[in-house]
Amino acid sequence: MTYDRLVCANCASPVSEGRCPVCRASRERLQQEGMFGGLTPAALIALLVALIAVAVLAHEMATA
Ligand SMILES: [Zn+2]
């Protein structure tokens, strides 16, 4: 998701320029979202579940 061409509804200038508080808030939010690059909370939970499954399997293999 890019915000380069996103225009602010408050000041009608590009959000990337951060000319008003609304721009800066939107920019910060988008940057935080971009940091995880599509890694949603659901994806994080799925990753956690997969790790637990691997740990359980490894434990069962060790005890079998
Ligand atoms: Zn603005």
pTM of this prediction?
Answer: 0.47
CA of 57 to the centre of ligand 1 (A): 52
CA of 6 to the centre of ligand 1 (A): 10
**Following DSSP, what letter does each residue of the chain receive, concatenated?**
---TTPBPTTT-SBGGG--SHHHHHHHHHHHHHHHTTT--HHHHHHHHHHHHHHHHHHHHHHH-
Residue 12 reports pLDDT greater than 90: yes
Residue 1 reports pLDDT greater than 60: no
Do both 3 and 21 map to the same domain? yes
pLDDT score at 60: 93
Do both 47 and 26 map to the same domain? no
Residue 32 reports pLDDT greater than 90: no
Do both 2 and 24 map to the same domain? yes
Expressed as residue numbers, the domain containing 46 is: 39-64
Count of the separate structural domains present in the chain: 2
pLDDT score at 29: 84
* Per-residue confidence band for 59, with pLDDT thresholds at 50, 70 and 90: very high
pLDDT score at 35: 59
